[in-house]
Every structure is written in structure tokens, then in C-alpha cells.
Amino acid sequence: MKSPSFSVPLFLLVLFSFSWATSARTHDSFLQCLSLHSGINARLIYTQNSSSYESVLDLSARNARFSTPTTPRPLVIVTPSNVSHVQATINCSREHDMQIRIRSGGHDYEGLSYVSKVPFVIIDLINMRSIDVDTEKKTAWIQAGATIGELYYRIAEKSTTLAFPAGVCPTVGVGGHFSGGGYGMMTRKFGLAADQIIDAHIVTVDGRILDRNSMGEDLFWAIRGGGGASFGVIVAWKVKLVSVPSTVTVFTVNRTLEENATKLVHKWQSVAEAIDEDLYFRVFLRAVNSSQEGKRTVQASFTSLFLGRIDQLIALMQESFPELGLVKEDCIEMSWIQSILYFPGIPQSESLDVLLNRTGTIRTVTAGIFKAKSDYVTEPIPEIALEGLWQWFYEDESGTLELIFSPYGGIMDEISESETPFPHRAGNLYKIHYAVSWEEEDASTSQKHINFMRRLYKYMEPYVSKSPRAAYMNYRDLDLGSNNEGNYTSYTQASRWALKYFKNNFNRLIHVKSMVDPQNFFRHEQSVPTLLQG
């Protein structure tokens, strides 16, 4: 009896050929549509046959976990140089049933700005990054393809006493960073990046270009912490700049477990959120070599920005946290823009031009292949639980594990949970950022480290916020839940992840989404769904 050896392969071959042919037809029709309606230069469009396709795709693909041979790739990458190109791309994508992924800096932790499971096009905003700083009015217009490093550089070109309160990593794009909240070393003094936004330009599903006045306060509210990619393509932000002293002070003090790190971290939990709002100091936790040969220990790095001089800082620390033993020799006075180099570990000898480098040479735990998560802490974690946490740093599966504790308090306590979609305000002592990275590219190694991170996250459950266990949207985590692949996801399903990011603000976000994008064209695994009951 002959085996039907060709039946299955033939079926798969037919299915593959059909899918390929369908994608090819979609791809060709989409390109024809673009050429007819946009006047976009062909040099701004990259297909899979383009010689530069790979380099353009990889340039802003920040998590190497999503740069493998099996990662779905866009049929087309469009790099618009003006708003009309964005409008045409949206219109042609709708006409030819292609999803859109919007990429500013490419730092989405789950790759959602450049990966999709269905045929898709990337709108890469790399060519839309102009920045106009007005020192007289203390404002700036920033195109959404700019990085925060480029923004800091342009501010410093014009002023030594103006700044902007956003993140530490200079290659992060302002498009996603601002629309998800955006915190940094001045958050306790001035709030989030999103709290400084006073206007925006967005291209909606029907191709209209709206500013704050024409979009209305509901949509303007939604894009300042609710994730812009759910509502349209944000192409520019207008922000307030903040005033800082011409001289600020920084320090980094390292303490290992043998140097009383457990008690210091425990005390830090009640000090950092209550101390003067001019002082922001976080804790980095990493495994390092012990002074005992062949052994490992955990090191707590206390890293700080103080908006003032050394003498003021020393007096403040001696009053509030004498246990750390901070002395003048630990501290460095510098300008605010120099502190922008200091915190990501860029040598002070480097030119400020390094902030214009979009690819970046900074080595962080989220610079290669990684998995990350977040938590909010509302009560101090007991010492015994911290001692249990240290054991996780010694596990074989821990890879390069790093935890960052970032304090709240200050002005964050004064802003209402509903002021923007970002709800994590009063009542939070600090936020935890968990990240594990590794070098091996095979799937089994990746799964091993991802499982490790999930087990660590489970261990921390008793010690963090509850009902919901809150999370930060800019630290995207698909373990929390995801939408269906189609254009309908029930409220119940979306709530599993969305209430963690937005709490009660999720309900208003759904109403805004249903008004501006009722057919749910702008969607991804964790986009705000439209108002359908489920």
C-alpha cells in the first residue's frame, strides 16, 4: 500500500503559494496606491526587494528578540518626510487591508512598533524629527520621529537653564515615550513628559490632521498617556520646557550585601518618595563579583540627580538618609545637559553630539535580547522579602538580571489619577523595572530566561500593588494579556491587561477610541479596543 506522501506537502505548497500570491498582490496594489496619491519619493519606500530594506528595518529594532529569521516582516517600510506621506500611507493601508505599525525610536519592549502577525506596513518616522525650541516662551515643537537625546541637545544649544523632564536613554523616540507617560530623573519635581504636553498634531483614520483645538479635549487627553498608536499617527508634540539651575549635582554610591545593602534598600523605600522633590535617587540592583574569591553578591547602586549644589545635597542626605554615608567626594557638580550623559554611562569627555546618534553605543540590560516587566510598590517590602529577592540573582537562568527601583512622591502625589490616562500617582512609593537579558539567540534559551522572569514576577506578587497589580505601559508586557488578531476584542478580555496600565481611565479611553476610530483600524496586541460589549 502506497503512502500518501505527497498529499500534505502539496496542500501546504498550495496554501503557501496562495498566501504568497495574495501578499504579493496586496504589496503591489499598495505601492501603486502610494504612487498615485502621495507624490512620495520612491527613495522613502522600502520593499523586501530593496537593497536597504534590512538595514532600515534593523536600525530601530531595539529588542533583538524580535529580529530573528522567524520574526514577521513588513511588506513595506514607509519613511515619510512630511505629513501628506503619512496621510497617504494610512489611506492606502485601509484601502488594501494592511495593518500599520508606527515606529518612532523602536523601543517598544514587545516589538509592537515593528512586528505584526498579519500583513503590515511600518510608518517609520525617522525623517520627521525637526525640533523648534522657543526659549522666550519656554516651549518646543518636536516632530514625533525625534529622540529624547536629540531634544535634550537642541534645548542645550539655546539655554543652560532650560530642560525637559523625560527619560534617561537618549535613543528613545518621543512619539511612544510621551504618549505612554515618559518618566525620568526630574519626575518628582516636574511630573512626566506627558504632563508637559500643551498641543499635538495627529493624523486620524480618515486622514485628517488635527491639533489640540480641532481634535477636542477627549482625544488630547487620551494621547497623553494612553498610547498614541491606538488613535492615529501622532506627528508632532508641543511641550512646556522647565527651568533648572545652571549647576546640578549627581552621585552614584555602590553598596553590596556585605556593606549593609539590605538595610539600606529597606530604608530607601520610605526615604526616597518623601525627601525634597529637588532630589531624585533610584536604586539599581545587580549581581557582581564578591570580595570573596569565586563568589557572587548583590550590589545596590544609589544613583541621584539633585537640582542644586553639593553642600545643599550633603545637608539634605545627612538629615534624611545618614545611613548611606554620602560624602562630598561621592558627588559631582555639572550642568543639566552633562547629567544627561552621566546617567546612561556616557563618558563626560564625549561631545554632546553623541546625543544625536540614534543607534547609540550605550550598553544597558535592555540593549540586546531581553524580557522586561514592571510593578508598583505601595508599602515597603520587608527585609526578609528583600533577602529572598537576592537569591534570584544567583540562579543560572537569571542571565544578566537588573532591577531598578524608581521613586515617586513629590509633584506626582499632587496630580489626579484621571488628569491623564497615566494613573500611577499618589499612593505609590516607587516603581520596579525588571529586566533580564541574554546573548544566545536560540528559542530554547530565550524561553528559559522568559520563564525565569515570570517566576520572579510571581515571587514578587505579595509585595506589590493589588487590584489591579499595576504596570507601566511603556514597559510593554504581553504576559499581562493581549487582544484578538481580528478587529474585535471584548471589554473583558482587554481589561486583563488594560486595567493594569490605566486603571479606571481605561473606560474613558474606550469611549475616545470608539469616537475617533470606530472600525478599530489602528490596532495591535495591546491597543485600546472600540466600545463593544463582551
475 has catalytic annotation? yes
- DSSP H stretches of helix in 237-284: 261-271
C-alpha distances in Å from residue 18, one per residue of 14, 72, 119, 120, 384: 6, 17, 14, 17, 60
- Chain-centre distance for alpha carbon 296: 31
d(CA 231, CA 521): 9
Sign for the CA dihedral angle at 461, 463, 466, 472 comes to: negative
Instruction: Give the strand pairing for 139-143 and 131-134.
Output: antiparallel
Q: Give, rounded to a whole angstrom, the gap between the first and last alpha carbons of the chain.
A: 52
Closest CA to 151 of 161, 168, 162, 164: 164
DSSP for 173-233, please give it.
Answer: BHHHHHHT----TTHHHH--SGGGEEEEEEE-TTS-EE-HHHHHHHHHHHTTTS-GGGT-E
d(CA 268, CA 124): 41
- Chain-centre distance for alpha carbon 233: 17
> Of the residues 475, 488, 491, 501, which is catalytic?
475
d(CA 447, CA 445): 5
Tell me if 421 sits within 8 A of 509, measured CB to CB: yes
- For residue 314 the three cell numbers come to 550633603
Residue carrying the nine cell digits 523601543: 107
**φ, ψ at 19 (rounded to 5°):** -65, -45
Closest CA to 164 of 179, 149, 175: 149
Q: What torsion do the CA atoms of 63, 67, 73, 77 make, to the nearest 10 degrees?
A: 60
Tell me if 304 sits within 8 A of 250, measured CB to CB: yes
What are the residue numbers of the active site? 475
